[in-house]
Amino acid sequence: MAKEVKKEQKQESVLKNLTLGMEAELFTLDSKGSMANGADRLIRKVKGANPQIGITHECGKNMVEISTFPHAETGNVMLQFLDDFEAVLHCAEKEGLALYSYGTYPGSFTPEINTDKGYIIKEQIFGKARFSIAARCIGLHCHYSLPWGVFDHKRKVIKPLINSKNKQSMIDNYNLFIAMDPAITTFAQSSPFYQGSYLGKDSRIIVYRGGKIFNYLQGLYANHQDFGMLQPYKATGTDLLQIIWQRFDLWTGILKNLDMSLKVFLKHGSILDTTWNPVKISSHGTIEQRGMDMNRPQVVIAIAALIKAISKEVQDRFMHVLPSDIGVAEPFKQEGNIIHIPPHTHVRFELQPKAAYHGLDDKNVYAYCSGLLKLGKGIIPRKELPLIAPLEKMISEKKTASDYLIRDAKKLGVSLKTKMTNKQAAELALRHSRDLFRDIIMTKQAIKKLV
């Protein structure tokens, strides 16, 4: 995450309010819509124009990440994110580049990996072919501050508290974030094509998480599920601490076998830096929802606002998030101080793959997304309801960004049963990249009405 020093200095002053921060990954394209290794020169251009913009490189030379400092005021952080996004777009245009904001590039390409030591080590652990997946996928990461007093900011780890309402609130939110995964990844899905082929509505999740759940054994984390899978719920803070230490020990063992240094991965001096699960407690003292496809700005804002409203309600009212069979029949049903969620086995083994392969076409996934949106609409402040309108539209039309990409690909003569050409992919990608400026302006206008 960019601007680390500033974050550390400001963290304590905002900790008592639930804050929101975002990290958005983007692909760099050339002027014809083909993938380009434009990250380094784009970052130089942006930093030369405004050093305060949080833009960094990622594992692939074809990727950049824009990040915003967490803030308690939803409108402020969202406007900052959009202002920075717009500035990056202007710089890209001056460099003869276009930006693509959907989860996977539709065509085939071979990425070039950056030579940072951490990436090189990961390439050795996962294998060159598997690690290339990471440079073919872009995601959206949303950070929400943990309840006050549960995180040790010096040691950068969860405190071993007993009988703490705030710690129980953290566990409730952690479990809720896991339960939300199939719904918010459906809302965010924008990656129907991977390397020119149709895999599912969310091809990025299929190839990224991989494993038996998705029947995709060549996925990035297929052989290292502990570090990339959607994890089970936890009952107590002790359970959560234990699994964090277990993953740390496991990663340490992997590095020792390769005679590699652990320090490369401890960017912030925390054991929390060695896991990349869709839901994680981060070394910034946040709970991070990192399982989603990147998408258009208005969808990014809608999802971030929905999650924040629900998360804040759980923390402020110390709501209990209860796994039960009620959560299967009526997902995210609120009864007094209880939010019902399905058992984690139903979320992980049933809903997760159905969401990735079929999205809103699956009746159970559709009901699940509808349940989460209904919960959010009953919680989110009235003035912020326009922010989640894109999600309501998805439910109404039963279509996500992936559905529109499939529609537009078919107009170009693409069949879902065959591989699209790189020319078709470039035309499809460039067509959607051109919509970014308009989307940003429209979204900013909506947010400015709230602040």
Q: Is residue 447 part of a domain?
A: no
Q: Is residue 451 part of a domain?
A: no
- In the block, tokens 């693409």 appear at 414
Residue 378: predicted pLDDT:
96
CA dist 443 and 234 (Å) reads: 37
Residue 18: predicted pLDDT:
85
Residue 5: predicted pLDDT:
35
pTM of the model: 0.94
Q: Is residue 122 part of a domain?
A: yes
Residue 16: predicted pLDDT:
52
CA dist 173 and 285 (Å) reads: 14
Q: Is residue 449 part of a domain?
A: no
For residue range 119-177, what is the model confidence (pLDDT) as tens digits? 999 999 999 999 999 999 999 999 999 999 999 999 999 999 888 999 999 999 999 99
Q: Is residue 450 part of a domain?
A: no
Mean pLDDT of the chain: 93
CA dist 47 and 4 (Å) reads: 16
If you average pLDDT over residues 391-406, what whole number do you get? 98
Q: Does an H or E element contain 67, and which?
A: strand 63-67
The answer to whether residue 15 scores a pLDDT higher than 50 is: no
- In the block, tokens 């992936």 appear at 402
Cα–Cα distances in Å, from 380 out to 22, 110, 397? 19, 43, 22
Rounded to a whole number, what is the distance in angstroms from the first to the last CA of the chain? 26
If you average pLDDT over residues 90-101, what whole number do you get? 98
Q: Is residue 448 part of a domain?
A: no
The answer to whether residue 279 scores a pLDDT higher than 50 is: yes
The CATH number for 157's domain is 3.30.590.20
Residue 10: predicted pLDDT:
38
Q: Supply the DSSP string of 164-213, one letter for each residue.
A: -HHHHHHHHHHHHHHHHHHHHHHHH--B-EETTEE--TBHHHHHHH-BGG
If you average pLDDT over residues 103-109, what whole number do you get? 98
Q: Facing residues of 338 across strands? A: 320, 335
User: Which of 131, 177, 226, 184 has its CA nearest to residue 356?
Assistant: 184
pLDDT grade for 11, boundaries at 50, 70 and 90: very low
Q: Is residue 266 part of a domain?
A: yes
Q: Is 215 left (phi over 0), alpha (psi -120 to 50) or beta?
A: left
Q: Is residue 249 part of a domain?
A: yes
The answer to whether residue 366 scores a pLDDT higher than 70 is: yes
**How many domains, in total, are found in the chain?**
1
Residue 338: predicted pLDDT:
98
Residue 144: predicted pLDDT:
95
Q: Side chain identity at 198, as an amino acid letter?
A: Y
Domain that holds residue 361: 4-440
